[in-house]
Amino acid sequence: MAVQGEEEDAWLDFSLGMGGFADVAVVTTPVADKRKVHVRVPPGKLIPIVFLPGIMGSNLRMSRDRQKLTDRSDNRSWRPDDKGDALARTTASPAERQMRLDPDAVEVDRYKVTDNGAKNFDATGDKTVSSDKRHDNVPDNLGNISKLLVSDPIADPKHPLASNRQSFTAAQKARARGWSEVMFGSYGEIIQRMERELNDMLQGEGAKVKVSPTWSALVGREPSSFGGQGGAPLTEPDLKKIGDCWYPVHAFGYNWLKSNGEEAKALAPKLDELVRTYNENGFNCPGVILVTHSMGGILARALLRPESKLKSKVLGIVHGVMPATGAAAAYKRLRAGFEDSSKSFWKHPIDNLSDYATKNVLGSNGPEVTAVLANAQGGLELLPAAAYGTQWMQVQDQNGKVLARLPQSDAVNEIYTLGPERWWRLINPAWIDPAGQARMPPKSGGKTKEQIGPEATMRRTINAMKFANAIQDTFHEHTYAHYGSDPEQRAWNDLVWRVIDGDVAAAGDPLAWTPVGDNGTGTLRLKGAHGGVLQLRLQPPDTAADGTVPVQRSAEKVRARIRFIQTGYDHQGSYKNGGANAATLYGIVRIANAYDPAWWANKDWDYPRKE
């Protein structure tokens, strides 16, 4: 048989088509052209890599009714990659934010499809905007990423069969795999790197097979060089064992305003269908490997619960910056809004623009954030749970002396569900419903008191903590995790309310002080026991982290085979960091290697399909 380059024969590789089939395009030539076309047989094994983004990392669209009620020309609810749209929303009122980010009136902005019926949701936004234009956060000029993700050749329009062929670009195939459902500006680098490098492990065939130069920087490298707390370097045999397999990378957005438990039940059938489709298309696909960011890790752990019926099809999980037990930042943001970026503007102008838009769209003060997250269980599930520990909130005098510590045992009863007379409570009831949905008729977006208002928020918070506590011991046997512990990216391990003005000695018990005023950005005015007024200020974070998730109380509580403790990134930008990406690839290779040795030992196309 001729080899590549001899007799000017052509050699082609199969790719992965739009429907998940292995396909290859061969262009017909004139009869006089005697060159042969050889096609390499693709591997029979296939393991999808599924990326799950963090809170605010999935694009959302409003229902037709909500779009009409909010008088929007399009149905964008949340699309942070569109900087112009995001910046235009930074001045929105709390009421506008509440109506636009209503968990019951939005869905994931998927490419060309809707999860909840075309009668309720428009998959393009309006009739003048195509899905490709709408999803151009994955740019049209994406180009070929791997042998699995390439643009189809365009047939000669003069060819008599040209009209029978439908061609798709690499960008369109990537959008169909969900890449445009997520914040591509934050996640595009790791998604593309996984697609490119996992599908380029080996070169050559038979006895001449060797590890691709793509992996030269990682094979043999000590995991400690990118934060690993133990573990052996990857070896060439590690890659040779698993290299003859396809690893298409998919991304799945989710409605991050809803409970992760609820979203897990909605996502599980999609992942089950993904595995089933690849098997029906002729591959041997035993399950998926999950890669997560932040709250996506909470969702992934929910997928392991018995009610999702998916655990057997999850081969392992790589967690990035997961708030394993919650984060005190969630309390701070409901009380005082999102914080500014810690990045130098001039060194990171684009990132800072994105951070600014995210902060100001979600809310730069308590009223703006509460209008959204008090009505969204997903966000409340990031509050410190029981496993976070006790006494993470302190009250201090002007000199830093601790006057009180909370909670003593249970944050739900001691902080989260307290009424307005308790100044340290989580929710200001006056900030819950600025749009007045409780007073509106249903056709105008109205809700019942079971859905909105102080009592509804308290129930939602209680349910959020029940969920968080239920998964506190749920981790996959094959878990790898990376997170930040950077002195330049501080987070709240413990949270401090400090007196900055007033007579503390005469004020009595801090837990008996009563509210006088709250500016919504972290400054309170309280009345002490003898009528004197004190001023308190929420203190800045003071522990090395990633700017959001504290290490000691949350990130390090992940149960992982190897944890990678790293520096050099903030929470949202973690997957733009080389160390975090190296840890991700390392974890995937280890998870794949740990899967059933008999499955790997069988030759392609020579074994029964694993159901």
**pLDDT of residue 3 exceeding 50:** no
What is the model's pLDDT at position 162?
54
Q: Which of 62, 164, 41 is CA-nearest to residue 104?
A: 62
Q: What is the DSSP string of 243-290?
A: -SSB--EEE----TTS-HHHHHHHHHHHHHHHHHHHHHTT-B---EEE
Contact 87, 357 (CB under 8 A): yes
Question: Cα(77)–Cα(70) distance, rounded to whole angstroms?
Answer: 11
Counted residue by residue, the chain has a size of 611
Q: Cβ distance 266 to 27 under 8 Å?
A: no
Q: What is the pLDDT of residues 482-540, one digit of tens each?
A: 999 999 999 999 999 999 999 999 999 999 999 999 999 999 999 999 889 999 999 99
* 375-384 pLDDT, tens digit each: 999 999 999 9
Q: What is the mean pLDDT of the chain?
A: 91
- The encoded tokens of residue 164 equal 């029978």
- Structure tokens that stand for 590 in this block: 């280890």
Q: CA triplet 494, 498, 503: central angle to 5 degrees?
A: 150
Per-residue pLDDT of 176-206, as tens digits, reads 999 999 999 999 999 999 999 999 999 987 7
Lowest mean pLDDT segment, chosen from 166-170, 191-195, 406-410: 166-170
CA separation for the pair 373, 375 (Å, rounded): 5
Tokens representing residue 596 in the block = 């059933």
Q: Which stretch of 100-104, 138-142, 164-168, 170-174 has the lowest confidence by average pLDDT?
A: 164-168
Q: Is the peptide bond before 407 cis (omega within 30 degrees of 0)?
A: yes
Encoded tokens for 102: 């209503």
Buried residues in 103-132 as b, exposed as e (16+ CB within 10 A): bbbbbbbbbeebeeeeeebbbbbeeeeebb
Buried b (16+ CB within 10 A) or exposed e, 257-275: bbbbbbbbbebbeebbebb
pLDDT at 17: 86
Q: Where are the domains of the chain?
A: 1-42+152-173
Residue 302 has pLDDT above 80, yes or no: yes
Are 383 and 427 in contact, with CB atoms under 8 Å apart? no
pLDDT tops 60 at residue 6? no
For 48-74, how does the pLDDT look when each residue is reduced to its tens digit (9 = 90+)?
999 999 999 999 999 999 999 999 988
Does residue 311 carry a pLDDT above 50?
yes
End-to-end CA distance of the chain: 37
Judged by DSSP in three states, 235 sits in coil
